[in-house]
Amino acid sequence: MGGFQFDRKSYIPGEVPPPPVHLQDRLTYVLAIVAILGAGYAAYKILGSGPAPDMSVDAAELARTTAKLNEIERRLDVMEERLNAPKPAAPAVAVKAEPAKTAAPAGSAPLLRVRNSPPAQPQAAPPAAPQPAPDVNALREEGERALSSIRSDVAATQQQWAATADRLGNVVGELNSQHQEIERNQEGLAQMAVHFERDSVPFTLRRDGIKQQVGPVRLLLESTDIKNSRYTMRLFFQDRWIELKDRALHEAIQFYEPSGEVALELMVDRIAKEAVAGRIALPPQTNASR
């Protein structure tokens, strides 16, 4: 059939070649994973090699150390996300096949070739600039700096624990010394209490000329003055009479036995017309022996 003939093969798009695979990207990803595992193992060895904390652990220092470890994990996660980010694909380029030249059959009309211009394709957007691959050496240096900081913090915390333990030891020693001193003081106070402990022996003495035995002494009332709250009595002690003349109400009169270190005390606390009443303070052994 005469007429125009079109080469349909020129309109068939060619196959798009697959994007090339870069070996550098794979190597960077592997090195990043190795760095992450190494940093985690080093942190575990450092934190696990320290001595076990005692009861005086410092919660603030432990919280700061935990925060730094969390910051390192966050940085490592960010680096891993960067490594796993997909690479931008190269734009497909259509390959136009050359039209095959066919010989016209003999006796036929000459073929009139019409060159069809390819359809205008929309201008593709410029490809995004590829992100630079992370520097493995820089990441390694950053991890080493973080681990060095953690080591310093752990060492400082251990020193603080040791200082706190020393202070607690000093406090315990001081408490022991004070406890011993308190025990000695208690013993001294107990001895003083025993030394000055007295038994009170009450008496009522009448002015009838009869001597009254009160503890280790004998008493004889001679006169009373109700108006001026005065009295006069005689006290027989250590084989001799002692006159207590014109004594006042509530006046303490002390005297000692030859073998005693604690004074005996006599006091009149009530005066009547023909009698007085009071008490004598005696050591316990003196009162028991009489």
pLDDT tens, position by position, 11-42: 555 555 555 545 555 666 666 776 777 676 66
- Tokens read off for 200: 């009170």
How far apart CA 66 and CA 122 sit, in angstroms, is 55
Q: How far is CA 90 from the centre of its chain?
A: 59
Q: What is the pLDDT of residue 20?
A: 52
pTM: 0.35
Tokens for 197, please give them. 């402990």
The residue among 231, 239, 235 whose CA lies nearest residue 264 is 235
Average pLDDT, the chain: 74
Q: How much is the pLDDT for 169?
A: 86
- Regarding predicted confidence, which is higher, 26 or 174? 174
pLDDT band for position 55 (cuts 50, 70, 90):
very low
Whole-number Å distance between alpha carbons of 154 and 156 = 5
For residue 200, is pLDDT > 70?
yes
267-271 mean pLDDT: 93
Per the CB < 8 A criterion, the answer to whether 90 and 127 are in contact is yes
Asked whether the predicted pLDDT for residue 257 surpasses 90, the reply is no
pLDDT of 242 strictly over 60: yes
Q: What is the pLDDT of residue 247?
A: 93
Domain ranges in the chain are 22-88+134-196, 199-289
Predicted confidence at residue 219, as pLDDT, reads: 92
Summarised one tens digit per residue, pLDDT across range 84-138 is 766 555 554 444 444 544 444 544 444 445 455 555 555 656 666 666 666 778 8
Least confident of 95-109, 192-206, 211-225, 253-267: 95-109
Does residue 239 register a pLDDT over 90? no
The region, left, alpha or beta by phi > 0 then psi within -120 to 50, assigned to residue 3 is left
Q: How far apart are CA 179 and CA 175, in angstroms?
A: 6
- SS3 for 195? helix
Q: What tokens were used for 237?
A: 């002690």
Spatial contact of 20 and 124, defined as CB atoms under 8 Å apart: no
